[in-house]
Chain A
Amino acid sequence: MRSLARAALYAGLTVAAVTFIYPFLWMASTTLKPPFEVGSLDLIPDRITLDNYRVMWGRAPFGRALANSVLVAGTITAAVLVLGSMTAYAMARLTFPGRRALNAATMAVLLVPGQLTLIPLYTLIVQLGWIDTYAALIVPYLFNTTAILMLRQFFLQIPQSLIDSARLDGMGELRILFTIFWPLARPPLAIVAIFTFMGSWNEVLWPLLVVREQQTMTLPQLLTVFMLGGGAGTLGVSLAASMVLVVPVVVAYMFLQRYFIESMAGAGVKG
């Protein structure tokens, strides 16, 4: 009876897993199919071709856009981790005038929807003369409230004696943050990293507003412009472009996966 229930469970889980993975695998395989095969639902192409990628690469500067995306998302992720944890450390562990007000203000920022700040932010970027620059893509995202609050919450749980002990050992605050807190905070840092990277990597609306030159466009932006403008021509080429967009995120996730699980399992700080 038990083994029967188990078999049913596995069967159900297998169906669910296939349902989730099939569209992705189909997309991956379709990019390798010649145009007349694109309509088929088979996962294994009869004939493998890289034509879709070749066509895509030739029609728009996708290589450049990929590099732009890596630069933008990478810089933002690094900044959110470094600046975010510095802010979180100060908010969680240091006493200074205005600390409570700062905490409240940070919370309040969460309540403001991003769409609401879009226009003022755009006006600001125009006045700064940053249209069509990387600065326009990067600077507004250097600080991330959610990341700060998440790291602050974690930092609050680290025992005060660890900080005291580090101070007596001769560490300054920055060294305490980066050599004591960071190794302990790997799970939340990994989560912040992956969400920030994905968010930045997939962002389309903001780049569409502040960048018009193809040379500065990020990958999802170029892809959107490319497909909406009918530049792709065929489904195979569109999907090839989408693959280029998706793969880096999947790879990043695979690297950080174990911290995800660790964090979900509630990794303890206890000595």
Chain B
Amino acid sequence: MPPVSFEHVSKRFGEVGVVEDFDLHVEDGELLVLVGGSGSGKSTILRMVAGLESVTTGSIRIEDRDITPLPPRERDVAMVFQDYALYPHLTVRDNLSLGLRLRKVPRTEIDRRVRWAGGMLGLDALLDRKPKQLSGGQRQRVAMGRAMVREPKVFLFDEPLSNLDAGLRAQMRIEIARLQRRLGTTTLYVTHDQVEAMTLADRLVILDSGRVQQIGAPLEVYRRPANRFVAGFIGTPPMNFVEGRVAAVAGGVEFAGEAVRIPLGPAIAAAEGPATLGVRPEDVALVAAATAGSIPAQVALVELLGAHAHLHLDAGPQRLVVVVPGAAAPAAGTTVHVRLDPARAHVFEPNGRALVRPAV
């Protein structure tokens, strides 16, 4: 039995559909990340698992139990919130143990679990402090400890790192990943941050407007996005899109836009018509002026990041972003020649569906 499965789950608030026909089986011990922009329904899905929102239609099962009608306390899940949600008037120790005391767990067992979680998260010295005496990172650890001591079947993380500054966020991200692997507890993790999603996930679920766009391992999603939304959402800097047409030419098909023309091989001879080409910034190379298929472009802006630089180019009306090694970055204002790698090009139909996915 998979630990969590969603069967055709929908959620409506009045007339507004927030989640539409969500169907998913989460694997045992998996860290599944739900990622999407605001209004994508990702938090609503998590809150439905927790029992904090009702399910309009469909059902959610945890192992072989249909939990859809159960109140939160009977679901055997623990949740970590973005703003930590620690009880401000209780000490760290009481924050950790309150849920267990309410469940009538024996005193000695509570002490054991609090010591265990405290030790694992480095909270030993803080157990008698109140939340307001802790830093943001420490509060986040207490919030995780509170979930851990419950020893639930499923962890739910709702944007747990969004209130931390960038440095601490990266550090806590690693801590969460290590902790989850060590405990082996099935985890649903919600974030709007695609870097967080890529680095943490065993599998990603990309959501937009309440609908699943793609489910897959991070690299698979990155390399073979199912549609234009996913292609644009995952990856920094985002994928370059070029509007144009796919047309048959001698020897196969080619994509032709205003400034860009690249061969696509024989694979999709059937599909002709308007299309969008997608090429990731790292799949655009600076080449010598005479290279076949190269495009001249003006460097509008250079973002130097050290090891890499992001070049923002204007190829006629077409804007392109290119990632190059930091040392090789040309100056703004100069003209360069670029070549889009046909083997790594994506083509999307006007409705957004991917037409060509490059071989992985």
Chain A residues near B (Cβ < 8 Å): 159, 161-162, 164-171, 180, 183-184, 269-271
Q: Are B139 and A167 in contact (CB under 8 A)?
A: no
Provide a sorted-by-A list of 22 A–B residue pairs whose CB atoms are within 8 angstroms: A159-B85, A161-B84, A162-B85, A162-B87, A164-B50, A164-B72, A164-B79, A165-B146, A166-B87, A167-B71, A167-B72, A167-B73, A168-B78, A168-B79, A169-B73, A169-B98, A170-B73, A171-B73, A171-B102, A183-B89, A184-B88, A271-B132
Chain B residues near A (Cβ < 8 Å): 47, 50-52, 71-73, 77-79, 81-89, 98-99, 102-103, 131-132, 139, 146
Q: A165-B85, A168-B73, A180-B87 given; name 16 further pairs at CB < 8 Å.
A: A161-B83, A161-B85, A165-B146, A166-B87, A168-B52, A168-B79, A168-B99, A170-B72, A170-B103, A171-B73, A184-B89, A269-B88, A271-B84, A271-B86, A271-B88, A271-B132
**Bound CA–CA A168/B77 (angstroms):** 8
Given contacts A159-B83, A162-B85, A164-B79, contact A271 B139 (CB under 8 A): yes
**Bound CA–CA A250/B89 (angstroms):** 29
Q: Are B73 and A165 in contact (CB under 8 A)?
A: no
Q: Are B77 and A270 in contact (CB under 8 A)?
A: no
Q: Are B81 and A164 in contact (CB under 8 A)?
A: yes
Q: Are A270 and B50 in contact (CB under 8 A)?
A: no
Q: Are B103 and A167 in contact (CB under 8 A)?
A: no
Q: Give chain B residues whose Cβ lies under 8 Å from the Cβ of A180.
A: 87
Q: Give chain A residues whose Cβ lies under 8 Å from the Cβ of B131.
A: 271
Q: Are B72 and A168 in contact (CB under 8 A)?
A: yes
Quote the shortest CB–CB distance from B158 to chain A (angstroms). 8
Chain A minimum-CB-distance residue to B86: A271
Chain A minimum-CB-distance residue to B142: A271
Contact check: which of B85, B87, B99, B132 meets A164 at CB < 8 Å? B85
Chain B minimum-CB-distance residue to A269: B88
Q: Are B83 and A271 in contact (CB under 8 A)?
A: yes
**Bound CA–CA A166/B52 (angstroms):** 11
**Bound CA–CA A184/B77 (angstroms):** 26
3 closest Cβ pairs, A-B complex: A170-B73, A169-B99, A161-B85
Q: Give chain A residues whose Cβ lies under 8 Å from the Cβ of B102.
A: 169-171
**Bound CA–CA A180/B102 (angstroms):** 14
Q: Give chain A residues whose Cβ lies under 8 Å from the Cβ of B78.
A: 168
**Bound CA–CA A166/B73 (angstroms):** 9
**Bound CA–CA A129/B28 (angstroms):** 69
Q: Are A167 and B98 in contact (CB under 8 A)?
A: no
Q: Are B103 and A164 in contact (CB under 8 A)?
A: no
Q: Give chain B residues whose Cβ lies under 8 Å from the Cβ of A165.
A: 79, 81, 85, 87, 146
Chain A minimum-CB-distance residue to B143: A165
Q: Give chain A residues whose Cβ lies under 8 Å from the Cβ of B51.
A: 167-168
Q: Give chain B residues whose Cβ lies under 8 Å from the Cβ of A168.
A: 50-52, 72-73, 77-79, 99
Given contacts A167-B73, A168-B73, contact A270 B81 (CB under 8 A): no
Quote the shortest CB–CB distance from A101 to chain B (angstroms). 17
**Bound CA–CA A271/B47 (angstroms):** 22
Q: Give chain B residues whose Cβ lies under 8 Å from the Cβ of A171.
A: 73, 102
**Bound CA–CA A168/B79 (angstroms):** 8
Q: Give chain B residues whose Cβ lies under 8 Å from the Cβ of A162.
A: 85, 87
**Bound CA–CA A170/B102 (angstroms):** 6
Chain B minimum-CB-distance residue to A167: B72
**Bound CA–CA A168/B152 (angstroms):** 11
**Bound CA–CA A167/B87 (angstroms):** 13
Q: Give chain A residues whose Cβ lies under 8 Å from the Cβ of B139.
A: 271
Q: Give chain B residues whose Cβ lies under 8 Å from the Cβ of A159.
A: 83, 85
Q: Pick the most buried of A166, A169, A171, A180: most chain B CB atoms within 10 A of its CB.
A: A169
Chain B minimum-CB-distance residue to A169: B99
Quote the shortest CB–CB distance from A54 to chain B (angstroms). 48
Quote the shortest CB–CB distance from A130 to chain B (angstroms). 41
Chain B minimum-CB-distance residue to A165: B85
**Bound CA–CA A183/B85 (angstroms):** 15
Q: Pick the most buried of B71, B72, B146: most chain A CB atoms within 10 A of its CB.
A: B72
Quote the shortest CB–CB distance from B78 to chain A (angstroms). 7
Quote the shortest CB–CB distance from B131 to chain A (angstroms). 4
Quote the shortest CB–CB distance from A176 to chain B (angstroms). 10
Q: Are B52 and A167 in contact (CB under 8 A)?
A: yes
**Bound CA–CA A271/B78 (angstroms):** 20
**Bound CA–CA A184/B51 (angstroms):** 25
Chain A minimum-CB-distance residue to B152: A168
Quote the shortest CB–CB distance from A265 to chain B (angstroms). 15
Q: Are B88 and A164 in contact (CB under 8 A)?
A: no
Q: Give chain A residues whose Cβ lies under 8 Å from the Cβ of B88.
A: 184, 269-271
Q: Give chain B residues whose Cβ lies under 8 Å from the Cβ of A169.
A: 73, 98-99, 102
**Bound CA–CA A11/B81 (angstroms):** 54
Chain B minimum-CB-distance residue to A159: B83
Q: Give chain A residues whose Cβ lies under 8 Å from the Cβ of B72.
A: 164, 167-168, 170
Quote the shortest CB–CB distance from A52 to chain B (angstroms). 47
Q: Give chain A residues whose Cβ lies under 8 Å from the Cβ of B87.
A: 162, 165-166, 180
Chain A minimum-CB-distance residue to B131: A271
Chain A minimum-CB-distance residue to B130: A271
